[in-house]
């Protein structure tokens, strides 16, 4: 399943934002990471100072060792030089360990804060996406980006970038220190540095698309896992376990193959050979200078010790740059989600008065971005506050799509949808949706207590208010049959409840928010006939004083509607009350008779 992503660009709109919280540059993954990281410039200063100090104190070991060799090999050996060299080496390394601790602590702190900030930014951004995005974007892939990819950015920072900075400082030391023994001794480390940069650029160029494929393969594997677990009842009901195992093995094998390919590139890391050649060439050069009397034995020892410092950037960069490459690939995937544009805007500061419930559709058309044919065409009607409206029609006529234009789950593509005479696009999004409750066919309940589920739209509600809403929805009696009553924790999506119980909890949740507009999308379909009459009376009572839209095929609900809208193939076939439509509409008579 392909994910819904767009080229990296700045998003224009969002249904939900946190004002003045994030100011990251989203024009590319590197810029984005840099803008996040630079919030902690003081920690970066400590990291760089610690890395530079670490390299300087590491170079002190070969220099002091060279001095000690000269002191011992002198015609009159001076043991004091050996003693002082040992003391200075000990003191320098004690200081080095303290500075190293500061450096690593700073890097770890930056990494953890980056992970926290990016995870928060992504979560807020996902909440701001429209339903079109969430309908098309695979949940498993989104979870992979929000968890594993974000974690990769932490690893990119520490140990990745931390080791990269440290290794660069180690490379710098031989270039600075070697000429103090003889100017020409800079040749070997200089040649190594140039060739190292060239080899590293080629390595990263080859590695980047592979690490990107590794991240994508992980997302595909996670998507497959999430889909199967979400549809586990269907899988088991159809005895398709073996087939699903084979499908998962296929995506898992693709993930493994991408990792193997990355390992193949890392195994051919050229600087490892380059280091050996540099040490050989440097030693030969130092011996030639020694034989000419231009440097002494201690200088040769010190010089070779300085060249040994190049081993750290060579060996560690094989691991560190892989981490950096994986982190940039992960950042690119996260930024693709963040920069996917959402057409619906929060419109904070828009119209936000108390809603009366008047709804007008004025020549409304709607089409999904992924489809060429419109779902709704030239829809016009006027609903007065407090009216009960039944929306009927065959499957696929556009009934659910129509009512979801009222709370801006989608935006019209032509015409106007107005609430209380104000275009819904001019309403403050939060104010609009807080005063509209929708109970859908596919009811979602959270893995929380029953009381928390009922109070989801009003977290400040008292238990007495929750119980009153449950009584109105005919849910109170069955709730008390559970051992913990209202504190019973139900499974995700309410899988521990029957369909009728889930729908009654959803009704209670809607009743508690006391909306001005109530939308029931076939919300009594799973209720048994013994309970239906009670629910009907509860809905009838709850609809008094508020505008109510009911999508239903139940004649008992259609009869008491003030206005009935008959949809056919995305158009209004007929509109009116029950008696009028029975006389004038053949399409309505077919539905009613069926």
pLDDT of residue 232: 80
pLDDT of residue 457: 87
146-179 pLDDT, tens per residue?
999 999 999 999 999 999 999 999 999 999 999 9
Comparison of pLDDT for 234 and 397, the residue scoring more:
397
Comparison of pLDDT for 78 and 61, the residue scoring more:
61
Comparison of pLDDT for 299 and 15, the residue scoring more:
299
462-508 pLDDT, tens per residue?
999 999 999 888 889 889 999 889 999 887 656 678 777 888 888 89
391-404 pLDDT, tens per residue?
998 888 899 899 99
How far apart, in whole angstroms, are the C-alpha atoms of residue 50 and residue 60? 15
Radius of gyration of the chain (CA): 35
Q: How many CB atoms lie within 10 A of CB 540?
A: 13
Q: Report H helices in 128-240.
A: 131-136, 139-144, 150-155, 162-177, 187-230, 232-237
Confidence of residue 345 (pLDDT cuts 50, 70, 90): confident
How far apart, in whole angstroms, are the C-alpha atoms of residue 35 and residue 14? 21
User: What is the chain's percent helix, strand, coil content, to nearest 5?
Assistant: 65, 10, 25
- 554: phi then psi, degrees, rounded to nearest 5: -85, 125
Q: Per the omega criterion (within 30 degrees of 0), is the bond before 159 cis?
A: yes
Going from the C-alpha of 417 to that of each of 390, 548, 575, the distances in angstroms are 18, 16, 17
Averaged pLDDT for residues 568-583: 89
Domains in the chain and their CATH numbers? 29-338 (1.20.1560.10), 359-593 (3.40.50.300)
| Least confident interval from 113-117, 155-159, 249-253, 318-322 | 318-322
| Average pLDDT of the chain, as a whole number | 86
190-203 pLDDT, tens per residue?
999 999 999 888 88
431-455 pLDDT, tens per residue?
999 999 888 877 888 888 999 999 9
How far apart, in whole angstroms, are the C-alpha atoms of residue 536 and residue 532? 6
Name, in order, each residue with C-beta under 8 angstroms of 263's C-beta and a sequence gap of 6 or more: none
Averaged pLDDT for residues 110-130: 90
pLDDT of residue 467: 94
Contact 274, 314 (CB under 8 A): yes
Q: Is residue 7 over pLDDT 70?
A: no
Beta partners for residue 40, in sequence order: none
Confidence of residue 3 (pLDDT cuts 50, 70, 90): very low
């Amino acid at each position: 399943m392909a994910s819904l992503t767009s080229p990296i660009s700045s998003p224009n709109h969002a249904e939900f934002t946190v004002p003045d919280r994030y100011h990251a540059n989203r024009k590319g993954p590197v810029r984005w990471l840099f803008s996040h990281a630079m919030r902690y410039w003081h920690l970066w200063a400590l990291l760089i100072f610690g890395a530079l100090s670490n390299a300087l104190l590491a170079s002190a070991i070969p220099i002091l060792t060279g001095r000690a060799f000269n002191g011992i090999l002198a015609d009159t050996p001076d043991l004091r030089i050996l003693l002082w060299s040992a003391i200075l080496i000990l003191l320098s390394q004690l200081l080095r360990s303290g500075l190293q601790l500061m450096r690593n602590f700073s890097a770890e702190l930056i990494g953890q804060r980056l992970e926290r900030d990016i995870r928060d930014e992504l979560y807020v951004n996902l909440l701001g996406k429209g339903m079109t995005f969430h309908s098309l974007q695979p949940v498993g892939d989104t979870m992979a980006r929000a968890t594993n990819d974000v974690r990769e950015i932490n690893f990119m920072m520490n140990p990745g970038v931390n080791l990269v900075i440290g290794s660069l400082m180690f490379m710098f030391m031989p270039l600075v220190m070697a000429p103090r023994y003889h100017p020409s001794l800079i040749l070997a480390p200089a040649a190594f540095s140039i060739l190292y940069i060239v080899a590293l650029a080629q390595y990263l160029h080859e590695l980047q698309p592979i690490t990107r494929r590794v991240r994508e393969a992980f997302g595909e594997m996670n998507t497959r896992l999430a889909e199967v677990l979400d549809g586990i009842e269907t899988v088991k009901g159809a005895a398709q376990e073996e087939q699903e195992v084979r499908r998962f093995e296929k995506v898992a094998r693709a993930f493994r193959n991408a990792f193997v390919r990355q390992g193949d590139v890392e195994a051919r890391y050229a600087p490892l050979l380059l280091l050996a050649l540099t040490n050989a060439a440097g030693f030969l050069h130092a011996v030639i200078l020694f034989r000419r009397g231009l440097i002494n034995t201690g200088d040769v020892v010190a010089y070779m010790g300085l060249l040994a410092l190049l081993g750290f950037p060579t060996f560690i960069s094989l691991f560190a740059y892989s981490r950096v490459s994986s982190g940039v690939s992960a950042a690119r995937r996260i930024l693709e989600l963040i920069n996917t544009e959402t057409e619906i805007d929060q419109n904070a500061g828009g119209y936000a008065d108390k809603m009366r419930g008047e709804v007008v559709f004025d020549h409304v058309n709607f089409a999904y971005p992924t489809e060429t044919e419109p779902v709704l065409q030239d829809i016009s009607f006027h609903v007065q506050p407090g009216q009960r409206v039944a929306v009927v029609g065959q499957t696929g006529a556009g009934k659910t799509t129509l009512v979801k234009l009222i709370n801006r789950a989608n935006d019209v593509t032509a015409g106007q949808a107005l609430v209380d005479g104000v275009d819904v696009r001019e309403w403050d999004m939060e104010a609009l949706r807080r005063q509209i409750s929708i109970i859908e066919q596919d009811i979602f309940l959270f893995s929380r207590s029953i009381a928390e589920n009922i109070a989801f739209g009003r977290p400040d509600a008292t238990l007495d208010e929750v119980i009153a809403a449950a009584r109105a929805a005919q849910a109170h009696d069955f709730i008390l049959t559970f051992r913990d009553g209202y504190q019973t924790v139900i499974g995700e999506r309410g899988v521990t409840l029957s369909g009728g119980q889930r729908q009654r909890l959803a009704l209670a949740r809607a009743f508690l928010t006391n909306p001005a507009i109530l939308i029931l999308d076939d919300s009594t379909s799973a209720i048994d006939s013994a309970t239906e009459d009670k629910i009907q009376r509860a809905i009838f009572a709850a609809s008094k004083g508020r505008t109510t839209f009911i999508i239903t095929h139940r004649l008992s609900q259609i009869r008491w509607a003030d206005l009935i809208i008959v949809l056919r193939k995305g158009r209004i076939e007929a509109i009116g009350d029950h008696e009028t439509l029975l006389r004038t509409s053949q399409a309505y008579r077919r539905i009613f008779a069926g």
